[in-house]
Chains A and B, each alone.
Chain A
Amino acid sequence: MSLSDSVIARFPQWVQESMVVKGDESIAVKREGVLEVCRVLKESPFDFNMLMDLFAVDYLHWPEKPSRFEVVYNLYSLQNKTRLFMKVAVSEKEAEIPSVCGLWPAANWFEREVYDMMGIRFKGHPNLKRILMYEGFEGHPLRKDYPFNKRQPILGPVC
């Protein structure tokens, strides 16, 4: 029984699908079940005690993707030496997802970066504000519909 199969067996209502690409296992999780799934994945027997990365993908103009955004969690287990990608679809209208800061403190800055660049809010985050761009910057620059030549300088001309 593969890793993703055992996760699906544990949460049939939230984990919708799984796939393996070149040995990397990934699961698609419904947004409502993120916190519950993460809590169980962190504990035995999965032991995903390390959040290596957390990022978002903008699937604007992708007809096969029903939701615009996808938040991806890169989980790693130091004990089992296993890796799991957890993908959560997030719509543009409700661009909000529960924060996992309480489980992995490493999520704090990752989630701030995703909020800054993509505009996805993390519910329950202790300090959700921009981390890379400055106060007063409008919009989220890594969204695919952010104009590539738009400039918002603090000093100097807008060119």
Chain B
Amino acid sequence: MVQSNVSDVSKLSFLTTRLNDAIGWARGYSIFQYPFVTACCGMEYMSVAASHYDIDRFGAGFPRFSPRQADVLFVVGTISQKMAPVLRRIYDQMCEPKWVVAFGVCTCTGGFYDNYATVMGIDTIIPVDVYIPGCPPRPETVLDGLMKLQEKIRTQKQEF
């Protein structure tokens, strides 16, 4: 995207816009994830992480088990009302910039658990960037959701 027909480059905000892209590129392909695994979707998450589907191809192969070191919160599995304050606290402990992925239909909407014990979608507690539906989602669906998240990270305004 080098604009060769511009005579005076110094008058453009060249550096700022390119820096935004560069940071977006770096952040999109170096996701440190925090897997918040509570239920059966965890098996599918493991399948995505293991060598056959290999989430590391997307630069997201490094799960951190401290929210303070993570960029993306993967909420994998049903969240009960009792678990809700814990999830909120984990989210609050993460450093900016941070993103949230709702993995599986239980985290998206509550799924078929329409009862006294279950949170009807984690977006009632914390903001969500990407929803990956499915019960459980296929690994391909997860990778598709991850790519959508990367696109969102790359194209958004980068704060630093």
> With an 8 A cutoff between CB atoms, is A19 at the interface?
no
A147 nearest CB across to chain B (Å): 9
Q: Cβ of B117: which chain A residues have Cβ within 8 Å of it? A: 132-133, 141
> With an 8 A cutoff between CB atoms, is B153 at the interface?
no
Mark B64-100 against chain A: 1 for CB-CB distance below 8 A, else 0.
Answer: 0000000000000000011011001000000000000
Q: Given the known A-B contacts A133-B82, A156-B84, are A151 and B125 also in contact in the complex, defined by CB atoms under 8 Å?
A: no
Kindly identify, within residues 102 to 147 of chain B, every residue whose CB is under 8 Å from any CB belonging to chain A: 114-117, 119-120, 124-125
A146: nearest chain-B partner, CB-CB:
B116
Q: Cβ of B84: which chain A residues have Cβ within 8 Å of it? A: 153-156
Tell whether, in the assembled complex, residue A159 and residue B81 are in contact, meaning their CB atoms are under 8 Å apart: no
Q: How far is the CA of A156 from the CA of B119 in the complex (A)?
A: 9
Q: Cβ of A154: which chain B residues have Cβ within 8 Å of it? A: 81-82, 84-85
Number of interface residues of A (CB under 8 A): 16
Tell whether, in the assembled complex, residue B125 and residue A150 are in contact, meaning their CB atoms are under 8 Å apart: no
Pick the contact of A134 from B82, B114, B120, B125 — CB < 8 Å?
Answer: B82
Tell whether, in the assembled complex, residue A152 and residue B85 are in contact, meaning their CB atoms are under 8 Å apart: no
> With an 8 A cutoff between CB atoms, is A157 at the interface?
yes
Q: Cβ of A156: which chain B residues have Cβ within 8 Å of it? A: 84, 119, 124-125
Q: How many B residues touch the partner, as a band? A: 10 to 19
Q: Given the known A-B contacts A133-B82, A134-B82, are A155 and B120 also in contact in the complex, defined by CB atoms under 8 Å?
A: no
Pick the contact of B120 from A132, A133, A148, A159 — CB < 8 Å?
Answer: A159
Q: Cβ of A151: which chain B residues have Cβ within 8 Å of it? A: 81, 116, 120
Q: How far is the CA of A13 from the CA of B84 in the complex (A)?
A: 50
A147: nearest chain-B partner, CB-CB:
B116
Q: How far is the CA of A146 from the CA of B117 in the complex (A)?
A: 13
Tell whether, in the assembled complex, residue A152 and residue B116 are in contact, meaning their CB atoms are under 8 Å apart: yes
Mark A105-119 against chain B: 1 for CB-CB distance below 8 A, else 0.
Answer: 000000000000000
Pick the contact of A152 from B81, B114, B120, B125 — CB < 8 Å?
Answer: B81
Q: Cβ of B119: which chain A residues have Cβ within 8 Å of it? A: 153, 156
Q: Cβ of A141: which chain B residues have Cβ within 8 Å of it? A: 115-117
Q: Of B81, B114, B115, B125, which is in contact with the most chain A CB atoms at under 10 Å from its CB?
A: B81
Pick the contact of B85 from A148, A155, A157, A159 — CB < 8 Å?
Answer: A155
Tell whether, in the assembled complex, residue B81 and residue A134 are in contact, meaning their CB atoms are under 8 Å apart: yes
Q: Cβ of A155: which chain B residues have Cβ within 8 Å of it? A: 84-85, 88, 124-125
B residues in contact (CB < 8 Å) with A: 81-82, 84-85, 88, 114-117, 119-120, 124-125
Which 5 A-B pairs give the minimum distances between C-beta atoms? A156-B124, A155-B84, A141-B116, A134-B82, A156-B125
Provide 5 A-B residue pairs closer than 8 Å at the C-beta atoms, listed in order of the A residue. Answer: A133-B117, A153-B81, A155-B85, A156-B84, A156-B124
